[in-house]
């Protein structure tokens, strides 16, 4: 029988219905992601003139801005969803409704000059560098009064919304705290009130490490698991063992451990599921908010192997056709990187 | 500059960012929806043995159940996300977590025996029959104590999650009220408290009919508009002019007007945007709940022309790259059905 499962923090329900995964389709399969031939990639070394000027880069000593010689590069998004960072941030009326200017920053962090250096395959130093890039830009966003939150996301593969194949992240500095993050913060507070002040994410780590069946990977600093109420097949949650509301406070040692957990998870997905499309994002406490320490930052990976259709959109309840226990066992069984 | 817009009822924010619609892709385009050749459609007349037995059908007098001679047919879903309808409905503990049995009904309503009779093209009597079918099955679901809500949805096209091309709806009778509907009900109550008891949907109809720029279509019973805070390009909201919390209370005359509004909207999308994939769903008051009259039922159509990616999933804020005003003007300009 299908089972409804509730997320411990957000109280959102998901339906785990494995029967649903067996249904046939009368549409022919189409290739998922077809890199176009002969296009010139603006994120590759030597093509720096094809992007807006860099706002940050890690470069070889003596190399000039906006030319070759970099290891990691951050530019403004040519097609911004938010910006500029300065202006009137007051909400205003539009007849019956409320609106506000979409102030903020929208940046692209190019992981490396190498077009094919996937995060799941890259040398650990390269992944560490990307993590350091996230933290450095996050702290830069903090300086803008209009930026109330910075969401760091990765879209991998066309079906997951990527428009460029070259590995990169996007940083969205936005003028409000995202409702999904607000819901998690409220959920943490509710859980603490009901459980003698304990953090639900810390309790999840203790419980899942004791159980083991939903654990995918663990090192001294981080635990990767298939959440009990996974919304999609092979969802992965990366949690720091040390309670902290803010990802940007990771020590250099923790950054290395986080890079290892991230590379391991993405590598298992890639090798086990033939390079599936996925989205990931980091949830951390809002910029400068008091009480951010109550929260517990984390990274969520959502492979895009199914479509959120009419039921999911109209109800807010996701249907997951692979049990998290099966997903975790499968991912644990994927051979380590050769 | 991008604009953030707030939904009057749910208070959800969307970002309207038309620049974002101009970005190029370095993946080659792939065909959206490729009907497989040579497959036999279980929803076509003559293939009734390929589905589970019918739970309801409109049939020619004298025709036998589960054979030809029907105009509309409802069967259980072979790959159910919910069911059966009877059993233990108590939530239970799974270690740290909460779960419940996925009790309910999951049905397929086959619109007509004709494989190519799209709702946007069908004779009005056929669309009316589909509406009557929704209402009849909705009332049947009401009889099951375990079914707290029935969500009626349509997935059109592979990219919108359809696994079958033959026009059909799915009815999900589920053991909880969907969080999206709960949020709308709370939003209506909040608006009423702040606005002398008025219904926000009634206010939206008055305001938008006065303004005109977001109206797509209107008849005596129904108004179709691009919502001020549209989440996706060409989103359409079909609202009954007569305030009522429950769609199943439509009079026969209103059912006809609703069928006209629905066919007109889907037809405009089909003719104007080359038969795009879309999802639609009906939001009505929960079965048997006191106070359902405060709500205002409606139908939402969400074309699937973009991908909800890392930003949308991680924030809960949708980015819409076509303004609702442009979308409505475009859809108004689509020529009437030939």
Q: How far apart are CA B191 and CA B195, in angstroms?
A: 6
Would B134 be classed as within a structural domain? yes
H runs (alpha helix) in B195-245: 200-211
End-to-end CA separation in angstroms for chain B: 39
Contacts 24+ apart (CB under 8 A), A195-200: A199/A243, A199/A294, A199/A296, A200/A8, A200/A9, A200/A296
Q: What is the 3-state secondary structure (H, E, C) of B257-319?
A: HHHHHHHHHHHHHHHHCCCCCEEEEEECCCCCCCCHHHCCCEEEEEECCCCCCHHHHHHCCEE
What's the gap between Cα B295 and its chain centre? 17
What is the pLDDT confidence band of residue B141, given thresholds at 50, 70 and 90? Answer: very high
Q: How far apart are CA B332 and CA A252, in angstroms?
A: 58
Which pLDDT score, from 0 to 100, does residue B37 have?
45
Report the mean per-residue pLDDT for chain B.
Answer: 93
What is the pLDDT confidence band of residue A52, given thresholds at 50, 70 and 90? Answer: very high
Would A338 be classed as within a structural domain? no
Residue B274: partners with Cβ closer than 8 Å, 6 or more residues away: none
Would A48 be classed as within a structural domain? yes
3-state secondary structure (DSSP) of residue A85: coil
Percentage of chain A modeled with pLDDT above 90: 88
Whether residue B239 lies within 8 A of chain A, CB to CB, comes out as: no
Whether residue A170 lies within 8 A of chain B, CB to CB, comes out as: yes
What is the pLDDT confidence band of residue B289, given thresholds at 50, 70 and 90? Answer: confident
What is the pLDDT confidence band of residue B33, given thresholds at 50, 70 and 90? Answer: very low
Q: How far apart are CA A172 and CA A153, in angstroms?
A: 8
Which pLDDT score, from 0 to 100, does residue A124 have?
98
CB-closest option in B17, B23, B282 to A163: B23
Are B307 and A170 within 8 A, CB to CB?
Answer: no
Q: How far apart are CA B18 and CA B25, in angstroms?
A: 16
Residue A226: both structure tokens together: 């298939």
* Statement: residue B31 has pLDDT above 60: no
Task: Output the pTM of the full model.
Answer: 0.94
Nearest residue in B to A207, CA atom: B96
The count of residues in chain A is 338
What is the pLDDT confidence band of residue B24, given thresholds at 50, 70 and 90? Answer: low
> What angle do helix axes B252-272 and B124-141 make, rounded to 10 degrees?
120
Report the CATH number at residue A9: 3.30.428.10
Which pLDDT score, from 0 to 100, does residue A26 have?
59
**Residues in B 24-43 with any Cβ partner in A closer than 8 A:** 24-28, 30-31, 33-37, 39, 41
Main-chain dihedrals φ then ψ at residue B181, nearest 5 degrees: -70, -40
Nearest residue in A to B10, CA atom: A179
Overall domain count for chain A = 1
Residue B15: both structure tokens together: 């970002």
Which pLDDT score, from 0 to 100, does residue B337 have?
60
List the one residue out of B184, B310, B51 whose CA is nearest residue A168.
B310
Across the range B301-327, mean pLDDT stands at 96
Would A36 be classed as within a structural domain? no
Which H or E run includes A59? strand A54-59
Whether residue A194 lies within 8 A of chain B, CB to CB, comes out as: no
CA dist A256 to A74, A101, A129, B44, Å? 21, 38, 9, 58
Would B40 be classed as within a structural domain? no
Are A164 and B283 within 8 A, CB to CB?
Answer: no
Would B28 be classed as within a structural domain? no
From chain A, the residues in CB contact with B98 under 8 A are: 5-6
CB-closest option in B82, B306, B309 to A160: B309
From chain B, the residues in CB contact with A177 under 8 A are: none
From chain B, the residues in CB contact with A316 under 8 A are: 178-180, 183
User: Which residues make beta-bridge pairs with A54?
Assistant: A75
Q: Look up tokens 């279980």; give the residue.
A: B42
Domain of residue B83 covers 3-19+51-333
Q: How far apart are CA A235 and CA B314, in angstroms?
A: 13
Return the minimum-mean-pLDDT range out of B11-15, B103-107, B231-235. B11-15
Across the range B260-283, mean pLDDT stands at 97
Instruction: Report the complex ipTM.
Output: 0.95
What is the pLDDT confidence band of residue B219, given thresholds at 50, 70 and 90? Answer: very high
Would B69 be classed as within a structural domain? yes
Which pLDDT score, from 0 to 100, does residue B1 have?
85
CA dist B31 to A30, A36, A46, A99, B247, Å? 7, 14, 33, 37, 37
> What angle do helix axes A179-194 and A200-211 make, rounded to 10 degrees?
80
Would A87 be classed as within a structural domain? yes
Half-sphere exposure of B31 (CA within 13 A, CB side): 8
Return the minimum-mean-pLDDT range out of B4-18, B118-132, B193-207. B4-18
Across the range A191-211, mean pLDDT stands at 97
DSSP count for chain B of H helices, then E strands = 6, 15
Residue A168: both structure tokens together: 């990169």
Half-sphere exposure of B251 (CA within 13 A, CB side): 5
Residue B164: both structure tokens together: 């079958």
Which H or E run includes A310? helix A310-315
Q: How many angstroms away from the CA of B165 is the closest CA of chain A?
A: 7
């Amino acid at each position: 029988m299908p089972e409804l499962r509730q997320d411990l923090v957000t109280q959102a329900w998901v339906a785990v219905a494995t029967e649903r995964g067996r249904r046939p389709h009368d549409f022919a399969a189409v290739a998922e992601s077809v890199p176009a031939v002969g296009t010139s990639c603006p994120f590759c070394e030597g093509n720096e003139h094809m992007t807006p000027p860099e706002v940050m880069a890690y470069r070889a000593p003596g190399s000039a801005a906006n030319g070759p010689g970099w290891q990691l590069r951050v530019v403004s998004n040519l097609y911004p969803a938010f910006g500029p960072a300065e202006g009137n941030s007051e909400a205003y009326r539009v007849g019956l409704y409320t609106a506000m200017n979409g102030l903020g920053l929208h940046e692209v962090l190019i992981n490396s000059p190498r077009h094919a250096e996937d995060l799941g395959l890259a040398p650990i130093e390269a992944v560490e560098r990307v993590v350091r890039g996230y933290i450095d830009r996050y702290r830069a966003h903090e300086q803008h009064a209009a930026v109330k939150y910075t969401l760091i996301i990765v879209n991998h593969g066309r079906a997951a919304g990527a428009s460029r194949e070259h590995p990169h992240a996007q940083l969205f500095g936005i003028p409000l705290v995202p409702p999904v993050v607000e819901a998690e913060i409220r959920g943490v507070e509710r859980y603490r009130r009901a459980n003698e002040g304990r953090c639900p994410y810390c309790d999840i780590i203790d419980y899942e490490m004791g159980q083991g069946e939903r654990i995918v990977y663990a090192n001294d600093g981080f635990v990767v698991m298939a959440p009990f109420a996974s919304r999609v097949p092979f969802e992965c949650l990366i949690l720091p063992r040390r309670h902290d509301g803010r990802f940007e406070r990771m020590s250099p040692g923790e950054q290395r451990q986080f890079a290892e957990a991230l590379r391991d998870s993405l590598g298992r997905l890639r090798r086990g599921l033939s390079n599936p499309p996925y989205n990931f994002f980091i949830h951390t406490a809002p910029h400068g908010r008091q009480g951010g320490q109550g929260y517990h930052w984390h990274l969520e990976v959502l492979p895009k192997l199914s479509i959120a259709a009419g039921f999911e959109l109209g109800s807010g309840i996701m249907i997951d056709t692979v049990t998290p226990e099966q997903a975790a066992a499968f991912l644990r069984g994927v051979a380590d990187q050769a």
